[in-house]
Amino acid sequence: MEIKTIGIAGAGTMGAGIAQVAATYGYQTILFDVNENMLTKAKLSIEKSLESLVQKQKIKSDKKAEIISHIQYTNAVTQLKADLIIEAIVERLDIKQQFFNEVAAVNSPDTILATNTSSIPVTQIAAKVPNPKRFLGIHFFNPAPIMKLVEIICGVETDAAVASKCKQLIEGMGKTCVMAADAPGFIVNRVARHYYVEGLKIAEERIADFETIDALMESSGFKMGPFKLMDLIGVDTNFSVTTSIYNLFHQDGKFRPSRIQQQKVDAGHHGRKTGKGFYIYE
């Protein structure tokens, strides 16, 4: 089956970014979220991002208009009908499984179902989803329109032909795909977890403050320090992924979530999207 329509579930930073990428490459794109507010914010964010590209002369105004015309916004799951559906919702197994069962009920048995999960094993999500042969992981990185890397993850039941088709499609969007084994955190989030966790431990032990740790890492060659990066990703999202990986590795101490990060989440200081995280934003 040729993929012409792509559905994205979750209109947060990641979902909106994936929708922008799909629409840029000419796919009819449906962006779904139960929260109408999130859809409004996503629409404004995508339009702002595209206008920035126009101002930088990377695309023309008519291309911007064309991309915008490819995106449909909806808060009704019954309208989320596509050839490929990519989920980018909250990092909770039960909610993901419930969503995929709802969307499977209104789509063809041939519709490819993909999760953008950062940490939960694909096989675990697919276990309670109809026809797991068409289920896989397609893991973009934030910000999706800029970051080139995408992890493709096969579950135990994933049809190799489905994975191959998705890899070809994503590479056609100008991305670099790597095939990752179905393990907690896959490749990038397992490696990167310690960039955040160790930075947080240094702050907890008062060896250095956030700004100093970030400055040290940036002077060592990293584009962003761990605290600036957590604010960009979302402190709540980052904490959720760390907690998930910690539990999936049976509470291995090296993945222990930070109490400092927990406090930020409890206070609603989720980073750039709330105007306050480890740093304060205008």
**HSE, side-chain direction, 13 A CA sphere, residue 157:** 15
**HSE, side-chain direction, 13 A CA sphere, residue 30:** 21
Spatial contact of 147 and 125, defined as CB atoms under 8 Å apart: no
Region(s) of the chain under CATH 1.10.1040.50 = 192-274
Closest CA to 96 of 132, 133, 124, 75: 124
User: What is the chain's pLDDT, residue by residue, as a tens digit (282 residues)?
Assistant: 799 999 999 999 899 999 999 999 999 999 999 999 999 999 999 999 999 999 999 999 999 999 999 999 999 999 999 999 999 998 889 999 999 999 999 999 999 999 999 889 999 999 999 999 999 999 999 889 999 999 999 999 999 999 999 999 999 999 999 999 999 899 999 999 999 999 999 999 999 999 999 999 999 999 999 999 999 989 998 999 999 999 999 999 999 999 999 999 999 999 998 999 999 997
Query: The domain 5-180: what is its CATH number?
Result: 3.40.50.720
pLDDT tens, position by position, 9-20? 999 989 999 999
Tokens 């200081």: give the residue. 269
pLDDT tens, position by position, 229-276? 999 989 998 999 999 999 999 999 999 999 999 999 999 999 998 999
Rounded-to-integer distance, Cα 187 and Cα 168, Å: 20
pTM of the predicted model, to two decimals? 0.89
Catalytic residue set: 118, 139, 151, 189
Spatial contact of 184 and 248, defined as CB atoms under 8 Å apart: yes
Q: CB within 8 A of 213, min separation 6: which ones?
A: 199, 202, 203, 225, 226, 227
Which CATH architecture group holds 192-274?
Orthogonal Bundle (1.10)
- Listing DSSP states for 78-104 in one string gives GG---SEEEE---S-HHHHHHHHHHHH
Q: What tokens appear for 124 in the block?
A: 């675990």
pLDDT tens, position by position, 41-59? 999 999 999 999 999 999 9
Rounded-to-integer distance, Cα 152 and Cα 141, Å: 12
Region(s) of the chain under CATH 3.40.50.720 = 5-180
